[in-house]
Chains A and B, each alone.
Chain A
Amino acid sequence: DAGVIQSPRHEVTEMGQEVTLRCKLISGHNSLFWYRQTMMRGLELLIYFNNNVPIDDSGMPEDRFSAKMPNASFSTLKIQPSEPRDSAVYFCASSLSPANTGELFFGEGSRLTVL
C-alpha cells in the first residue's frame, strides 16, 4: 500500500502566484480531507469530501481557496492568488468511512512558503 501521496513536498512562491497542491488517496478509500497546519492555529480542517462530493467547506479561509476531486482517487487544493499568510503545511488525509469511527491516513504534507 503506497499510502496517501502528496505533491509537491515543498513549494516556495511569490505573493500573487497560483499554487496547486495535489493528493492521491489510498485505493478504496472514499473520504478525503484537507487540513492546514500552522504554529499559531494548529491543525485546521479546510474541506472534506465523501464519495467525491464536497460535504463541508466551511473551513476554507476565503474565496481564494478551492478544492476539487475530479475522480475517486485524486484531489487538488488551489490557492489563487496566494498571500504570505497562506504559508503553512497542508495535509491531505483519506479514510474508508466518515472519520468519526475510521482511522485517518495522512500524507506527508506540502510545505508552502509564500514570499
Chain B
Amino acid sequence: AQSVTQLGSHVSVSEGALVLLRCNYSSSVPPYLFWYVQYPNQGLQLLLKYTSAATLVKGINGFEAEFKKSETSFHLTKPSAHMSDAAEYFCAVSYSGNTPLVFGKGTRLSVIA
C-alpha cells in the first residue's frame, strides 16, 4: 500500500534558522507528492506539489521541496524560519489517476524567538 513517512513528529528551530522537514514515500512508481500546512484550528492548505515537471518545487511562504527518486524522498525546506511558520506540516502521496491522497502523520514545527 502506498504510504509516506514523516521523520520527527516535532521539530523545533530558532527564528532565522534553516527549516528541514523530512518525508519519504514507499514505492518505485513515480508518485504525485504534496506538502500541506495546518495552522491551529484551521483546515489544511496546499504548500506545494510535485507532479514530475521539475524535481525542485517552489511553494508559498518561501518553502521548497526537492524530489529525489534515488532516496525516495521529498523533504521540505525553508532557508530562514519565521515565527509565523509555526504549524503542523503534512506530506501526502498519490500514485494513480483514481486514488486519493494518503497523508503522513504530520510534523509539528515550533519556531523559537
Which residues of A come within 8 Å of B, CB atoms?
4, 33, 35, 42-43, 45, 48, 55-56, 91, 93, 98-101, 103-104, 106-109
State which of A45, A103, A108, A109 has its C-beta within 8 Å of the C-beta of B100: A45
A42-B105, A42-B106, A43-B106 as given contacts; A100 in contact with B100, CB under 8 Å: yes
Question: What residues of chain A lie closer than 8 Å to B105, measured between beta carbons?
Answer: 42-43
CA distance A33 to B41 in the complex (A): 19
Interface assignment of B101: CB less than 8 Å from any CB of chain A: yes
Nearest chain A CB to B9's CB is how many angstroms away?
10
Q: CB-nearest residue of chain A relative to B93?
A: A100
CA distance A48 to B94 in the complex (A): 14
Question: What residues of chain A lie closer than 8 Å to B17, measured between beta carbons?
Answer: none
State which of A55, A100, A108 has its C-beta within 8 Å of the C-beta of B101: A100
Binds A, one of B18-26, B42-50, B76-84: B42-50
Nearest chain A CB to B18's CB is how many angstroms away?
25
CA distance A91 to B51 in the complex (A): 25
Nearest chain B CB to A10's CB is how many angstroms away?
10
Among A48, A104, A106, A107, the one with the most B-chain Cβ atoms within 10 Å of its Cβ is A104
Among B44, B90, B100, the one with the most A-chain Cβ atoms within 10 Å of its Cβ is B100
A99 & B101 in contact (Cβ 8 Å cutoff): yes
What 10 new A-B contacts, CB under 8 Å, besides A56-B100, A100-B101? Answer: A4-B43, A35-B103, A42-B104, A43-B105, A98-B98, A99-B100, A99-B101, A100-B96, A104-B46, A106-B43
Question: What residues of chain B lie closer than 8 Å to A99, measured between beta carbons?
Answer: 94, 100-101
